[in-house]
Structures are given as C-alpha cells and as structure tokens.
Structure 1
Amino acid sequence: MKTLNFTRFRHLMTLISVVALLLSVLAISTRGFNLGLDFTGGAFAEVAMATDTRIDEVETALAHLGDGSISVVATEPGRFLIRMGGTLDAHTLADFNQSLLQLDPTMQVLDRDSVSPQVGQELFEQGGLALLIAMLCILGYLSLRFEWRLAAGALVALVHDVVLVLGVFALTGMEFNLTVLAAVLAVLGYSLNDSIIIADRIRELLLARPKSRLTEVNDAAIVQTFSRTMVTSGTTLITVGALWLLGGAPLEGFAVAMFVGIVTGTFSSVSVGTVLPELLGLSPAHYRKTPESELLAEKAK
C-alpha cells in the first residue's frame, strides 16, 4: 500500500467522520432523545402469566393506564417486565391487576416499583455528570501521556465516538435509558484504548524516524497496529452482535450503543486521531530528547 494513497484514504475517512459528526449534532439538537422511564419516571412491574400470553395482548390490556406509554418485554415465556408512565398508586394498581386478571385469571405480580419524575431527572443529571467527569479524567490522562497535538487527536476522536452513538439514538428514536448510558461510558473506555495504541506507536516512530514525514509515520503506525485492531474489534463485535441478536429487547439498546461505538471508535482512531495532529503541525522535533549537555548549558545561563 502506497503511503500517498493511504494518506488520502485517511483524509477521506476524516471527511466522512466530520459529516457524520455534524449530522449527529443536528439530530440531537432537533429531535432530542426518547428518554426511558429511568429518566422520565414511571412504574415498573414484573408479572407471571400463562406461557401462551403474547406481548401485544398485555399492551392492549394496559393501554388505558398511566399516560399511555407502555413498554412490555418478555423476559421468558409467561414472564413480562412492564413499564409505564405515571405511578402505581392504590387506584392504578387495582386497575392494573384487574386488567391483567381479565386477560389471565392466573396472573401474579412478582415485583413492582415506581420512579418519580424528580428522581428520573436526578438520574439523568447524574448520568450526564458521570459522562463529563469521565471525559475530564481522560483529558488529564492524555495531557500527561502525550504531546498536546497527539493528545488532541485522541480526545477529539473520543468526542466523535460519543456524539455519533448519541446521534444514532436521537435519529432512530430508540429508548435512551440507564443501560444505554452505561454502554456510552463503556464506549469511552474502548475507544480510548484503541486511540492510545495508535498514538503510542506514532510516538515511538517519531523517536525512531526523526527524518520521516509525519504522514509516513502515521501510515506506518496504522499498518503496524492494523492486525491488532482488527482482531480486538472483530472479536468484540462478534460478541456484541450475538448479544444484540440473542439478548432480547432488554439488552438491545446496550448492544446497539456498543456496536456503533466500537465501529466508530476504530474508524475515528485511524482517521481523526491521526489527521488532526498533522493539521496541528506535529513533528518529530516535539518528541526529540534534549541532550544533557544542552540542559546543563541552559541551567548555567
């Protein structure tokens, strides 16, 4: 693979990343998120019914309760996790039980709970704070480990990955809940690891090849870490894909967020993580070790 062709390919990937980033920001600002009951507040109940009971039957029986937002998930045949807006006060609980007993006289409520809108809002704010703190910790780590131009590439790649995951959920209208937020935090760690591997190799090559152009160094770093990236990303994607296909509705949001995050994390580490340092003027001189004689001379002055 010629360096020039690979460099153009990286620049094309970066252009795609910028367009996707802008579209994600537009989707988030215009459509917002379909917040789950974890954040908006609502009632939760787990019930046991006949094994031949269908999800649509349960949804129809409970459609008149709460504010009309009903989510029914079959955890196993005959067991359903039901979420709905509002709270399960005495009147609503009686109506809830009566509606399901008409559908199946053997129905049993195994567990129930509710989250108030105020608690949901606090959870949303705390989740956003956790995301912000994680980003600040990563910023501090990168600033200590790499020269700021190289660190900027890794940091922007991280922001790119998080925004794209959030943009997918805003664009598709999928439910955004605490499980998805946990996946976003996991994506931060995964993407950071990928960016650090490539940035570390770039730093090593800058020291080993002080006369090489940065584009050549970046291309060589990507080629040398390509097999490792494909193995780790590929095996992780297989696992997440199996979770997406076989995990059912409760884990769908988590699996989708992880899948999108892994793909964009690998993509951005190769594109944004290497092109931005080039634009900022990174060079081998920034990692050149100053001879001890020069340091002593400066101290003498």
Structure 2
Amino acid sequence: MRLRLIPDETNINFFRYAWVTFGASAVMMMLSVVVFLIYGLNFGIDFRGGTSIRTQSTEQVDIAAYRDALAPMNLGDVSITEVFDPTFDDNQNVAMIRIQAQDGDESISPQMVAAIQDALRSVAPDITFPSVESVGPKVSGELIRTAILSVLGALTAIVIYIWLRFEWQFAVGAVAALIHDVVLTIGLFSLVQIRFDLAIIAAILTIVGYSINDTVVVFDRARENLRKFKSKPLVEVLNISANETLSRTIMTSGTTLLALIALIVLGGDVIRGFVFAIAWGIIVGTYSSLYVAKNIVLMLGVKRDWTKKDPAAGTKYGHIDT
C-alpha cells in the first residue's frame, strides 16, 4: 500500500471560479505595488551603503545604552535592533547595528570601527563582534543596478525560451505568472519590512526558476493534450493537463517546503530572510501555475495542431491516461 496525497483520478475544475482567483491575484498585485510605494523596502547594507556590526554578549541588549554610547561619535543614521532566534542559548544576546555610509568615504575606516567597538565595550565589557561588514555608497548603487538587470535578464531569457518551445500565448502566460510571483514577494517584504539585500535577490531568481519549471510542466502536458484531444474545448484541455500534473506539483512543492520550514526554524536568523522568501515564492509560484498562467492562455487562445484535416483525428486513444 502506497501513500496517495492526490487520488490517481482527479477532476478539479480550476476555472470554476476563474474570475475570483484571477481577480484576487490582480488585487493582490495592486496592493503590493501600493504597499511598496508607501513603505518601500528595508534595504540592507548591500543596497544602502554603510557598515553592519553584529554584536554578542551574555548581558541583555540595552538599545538605549548602545545608542547613548555611540551618540558622541556623530555617525548619522544608526539603526540598532536586537536579534531573536529560538536556537540562541539563554545567555546569548545578539544585536545588529547598522551605520549609514559616511560622507566622502566608501566605508567606515578601521579606526572608526575600533572606536565604535570600544564605545560598546563600555556598556557591555564582555561584548564580542562576530561580524563587521562595510559597503560603500558607490558599490551599493552598482549592486542595485546589477540586481535589477539580473532579474530582468532572467525574465527575458525565460520569455524567449517559452516562445521558442511553445506558442507565444504560453510565453505571455508564463511571464504573467512570474511577474505575479515577483510582485507579491516584493509586496510582502515591503509590508513586513524584512531586510532586503543581495540574498533576497538570489531568492527571487530562485523563485523565478522554480515557478517557471512548474509552469512548463503544466504547459508541456497541455501541448500534448492539444494534439491528443482535437475536438475538446481549450478550457477542458487545460483542466485535464492541470489535473494530470497535480500530483507531481503537490509532491514537489510539499517536499521542498518541508525542507524550507526546517531551515526557517533551525537555520538561524542569518539565512531566515532568504529561506522565507523562497518558501513564500514556492507557495505563490504553485498558485500562479494553476490559476494565473493557464487563465492567460485561455484568454488569448492558442492555435491547435492542424496537421490533420479531420478535427476528430487523434482521439481514438484519447481515453488512455498518458
């Protein structure tokens, strides 16, 4: 006896509430854009420029005392946050201090970093500094441009690939699903203000690759079924294709999410943002493959395989499950 998460024969009508699901996606995308315009993103040092200092001490983090110790140094915008993680020991108190890039300097000098560390030691004598990262404003600007170009380049390459392999309607549907996934991911990060850095860009590119893989599986089965069922309406063919690949979709997404949940819980705060972005992307990517990409293809229509004149040709073995 083998475990079946999805029955062998499924007949879910994914288009039954098409306008509800598709409309909800459109509304969520618009809300994501509004949230982004209002709150923006919590850019990390990679994109803002400056210095990030991670501290660790057996004493409780006193943000006010840390800030008072650094105030005489006139460092400008200083952000101090305590880091919480279930994997930390009881006496492991961690804070993250972010200091803006100083005018005229690519990054804070080693002498200034040493002075900051001495000032913090006056508050917590046993304090240590596991990591110190500095990025200049010029470098951060280049990183922003490179990140945008990398995402746009990935989307362009995917459009070309889908267009060459399938009909152009499939390419439009796939890109619409990818834009849906990216916009919702950025909207969520803007809403909850999770730090947005180069690791999140890597996560977005991973989401793009995972989502298009899921969409291509459905589209590939749809292309086969368009040749197999010559006389069936396009909506039925797309439904059949989604149902035939549903087991694979759920199993792949489910097993990947199990690993990601383990990383979110046990992986520590350093990679939590990256893992959270991928987990969210898998959820919305699976949704968009089933409810966004296929809807676009249905709206645009797609040319059938007319190599045989008889529109009923090729349906002799249509009842056999491939």
TM bracket, shorter-chain basis: 0.7 to 0.9
Using structure 2 for the length normalisation, give the TM-score.
0.80
Contact 2:50 2:136 in 1 (8 A): yes
Query: Aligned residue for 2:319?
Result: none
Aligned length: 285
Which deviates the most, 133-142 or 71-80?
71-80
Residues of 2 paired with 1:104 and 1:227: CA distance?
Answer: 55
Residue 25 of structure 2: aligned partner: 17
1:42-53 superposed matches below 5 A:
42-46=50-54, 50=57, 52-53=58-59
Corresponding letter in the other structure for 1:274: K
Deviates more, 1:72-81 or 1:162-171: 72-81
> CA 1:60–1:263 in structure 2 vs 1: closer, same or farther (change >3 Å)?
farther
1:9 alignment partner AA:
Y
How far the C-alpha of 1:43 sits from its partner, in A, is 1.1
Question: How far apart in 1 are the matches of 2:62 and 2:286?
Answer: 43
Please state how far the C-alpha of 1:207 moved relative to its aligned partner.
0.5
Contact 1:191 1:262 (8 Å CA) reproduced: yes
Contact 1:10 1:270 in 2 (8 A): no
The amino acid of 1:61's aligned partner reads Y
How far did 1:170 drift? Answer: 1.5
CA RMSD in angstroms, aligned pairs only? 2.6
* Displacement after TM superposition at 1:53 (Å): 3.1
Query: 2:190 aligned with 1:170, yes or no?
Result: yes
- 2:99 alignment counterpart: 85
State the identity as a percent: 34
Are positions 1:192 and 2:212 aligned together?
yes
Question: CA-to-partner distance for each residue in 1:221-279, whole Å, 9 max, x for gaps?
Answer: 11101110000011111111222222232222112211211111000111111111111
User: How do 1:56-67 residues align onto structure 2 when only pairs under 5 Å count?
Assistant: 56-57=61-62, 60-62=65-67, 64=70, 66=75, 67=77
State the alpha-carbon separation in 2 of the partners of residues 242 and 110 from structure 1: 24
| Cross-structure match for 1:27 | 35
Contact 2:45 2:197 in 1 (8 A): yes
Greater share of helix: 1
Task: Deviation per CA, 1:108-153: give whole Å up to 9, x if none.
Answer: 5555342112211211111111111111111111111110112211
Could you say which residue in structure 2 is the equivalent of 1:294? none
Contact 1:58 1:100 in 2 (8 A): no
- 1:17-47 CA-to-partner distances (Å, cap 9, x unmatched) read 1111111122223322111111101113355
Call closer, same or farther: CA 1:59–1:228 in 2, change over 3 Å: farther
The answer to whether structure 1 residue 289 and structure 2 residue 322 are counterparts is: no
Shift of the 189–172 alpha-carbon distance from structure 1 to 2, 3 Å rule, reads same
Letter of the aligned partner of 1:117 in structure 2? P
CA contact (8 A) 2:207 2:278 kept: yes
The match for 1:207 is 227
Q: Residues 278 and 110 of structure 1: is their aligned pair in 2 closer, same or farther, counting only changes over 3 Å?
A: closer
Q: Distance in 2 between matches of 1:289 and 1:80?
A: 67
Contact 2:185 2:277 in 1 (8 A): yes
Counterpart CA distance in 1 for 2:130 and 2:193 is 30
CA deviations over 1:71-92 (Å, ceiling 9, x no partner): 4547965585744123433663
Alignment of 1:126-165 (within 5 A): 126-165=146-185
Mark the runs of 5 or more structure 2 residues left unpaired by the alignment: 1-9, 101-106, 310-322
Is the 8 Å Cα contact of residues 33 and 173 (structure 1) preserved in structure 2? yes
Q: Deviations 1:39-80 (Å, cap 9, x if unpaired)?
A: 101113355x55x233x3367424635312134547965585
Secondary structure of 2:245's counterpart equals helix
TM-score, with length taken from structure 1: 0.85
Distance 1:74 1:271 in 2: 37
Classify the secondary structure of the residue corresponding to 2:108. coil
Q: Is the 8 A contact 1:42 1:83 kept in 2?
A: no
